Amino acid sequence: MSDELNAAIIGGLVGAAAAGPISYVLNWFQRRREGKDRYLSAIADIYAKLGESNLDLFKFFEHSLPSFRSAIFGVQPYIPSVSYERLVKLLREYQVRGEQQSNWQHSTYQGV
pLDDT per position as a tens digit, 73-84:
888 888 888 989
Residue 88 is predicted with a pLDDT of: 93
For residue 68, the tally of other CB atoms under 10 A from its CB is 19
- DSSP-assigned letter for residue 56: -
Mean pLDDT score, 33-39: 83
Residue 54 is predicted with a pLDDT of: 64
Q: pLDDT tens across 75-110, in order?
A: 888 888 898 999 999 999 988 887 777 666 555 555
C-alpha distance from residue 67 to each of 34, 46, 49, 109 (Å): 17, 7, 11, 27
φ and ψ of 109, to 5 deg: -70, -30
Helices 2-52 and 57-75 cross at an angle (nearest 10°) of 170
